[in-house]
Structure 1
Amino acid sequence: MRFSEPLLEGRLIERYKRFLADVVLETGERVTAHCANPGAMMGLKEPGSRVFLSRASNPKRKLAYNWEFVEIAAGGGPLQLIGINTSRPNLLVAEALRENRLAPFAGYDRVRPEVKYGRNSRVDFLLEKDGEQPCYLEVKNCHLMREAGFAEFPDCVAARSAKHLYELADMAAAGARAALVYVIQMRAERFDVARDIDPAYDKAFRHALAAGVESYAYICRINPGEVTIDHPVDIVTPR
């Protein structure tokens, strides 16, 4: 996914009220950007960090910028760009599905986003093909790295995400295909659930796996002009 115009570079002043971030641009201008990330953003919001912003597509929006990337030495590893915008993974997965770059989900004729299912929920994507059971696909953004090369999710208590896992498990138990894709917006060699941060999510994840829900983790290739799903990495949670 290429950005429609070059991102703006700056330095983070602070992230506050969960969805706001003050940034000093290279020009010296101080702006407030939308931070599309409700999580703890552990290690990603240090003042002075190099950040990249995109311009909002709606010129009438109150906040004219979106915070896209931060550059840090995640987990003590080398400096790298990390995507913090949690609205991007669904777009990245939709792009990869259109381009047939996600091998486990090749061959479906129809991809429908935001379809109602379960107990008053919406699945990120419903994949369909005549004569086959549908595939319920949930997408999660991963940006937590406490050890170099080791990505984790979630970075805070994620009750809503746990609920989705139980609903995916119900779909699998009913005979449908159900899957979870973690989009890791950084470089990593492996992935696991951060069970010490949210034991309830870990319990839901294990329940979903036992019910037949598939799980996949993909890292992204990131530069200031583009972010793209790259290749899968191992999920190391004991099965």
Structure 2
Amino acid sequence: MPHSVDLFWSFRSPYSYLALPRICEIRNTYDVTVNVRPVYPIAVRNPGFFKAAHPLWIDYLMTDIARIGEMKGIPISWPRPDPVKMNRETREIPREQPYIHRLTHLGVAAAETGDGLAFIDEVSRLIWNGETRGWQEGDHLANAAAKAGFDLAALDRLIAADEDRYIAKVEANQAALEAAGHWGVPTLAYRNEAFFGQDRVDVCLWRMQQNGLTRRG
């Protein structure tokens, strides 16, 4: 029986980035299809989220992602620029966002036309690994897309031709995420069961193995 898992994912989520190497490894090792379903970050879906969070939340987040990256050997540094424009002092999210909508729609277009997992892997490494300041400038994004087998300009043209459809697709992904049983990312959804967080990827693998998942031949 074929196995398929939905990956709800955001370009602004450090835990989504940290989960990707293991998810890619599982996809390459086991007979499973990973359906990449990009969503807008929680900061865009709920602009008041960070203002309502405990004052220690952001400091803990920064500490936690750094040590997980160190433990797993994954380079990580907060992106410059941040994919979501935010006032760090007031934690306010401006309505106008210069980067995140394009990134998310590119993820949708890549998932529809090719290997979406490879695309989000290459682009997230560009954004999060700390090697490139100004990841949105020059040919950085185009080069990352090319590594995954995509023509960035072609993806941009697809989106420009029908942007409303891509917005609707992201909104459908967000509704499907909640229908699966969670609201955050990364979430793997398998047979109506949600596995939230980079530390639940292997729990999802365990569940799939219970249902007969085997290694690729």
TM-score of the superposed pair, with normalisation by structure 1? 0.24
Bigger radius of gyration: 1
Higher relative contact order (CA 8 A, sep 6+): 2
Q: Please identify which structure carries the higher helix content.
A: 2
**TM-score (ref. length: structure 2):** 0.25
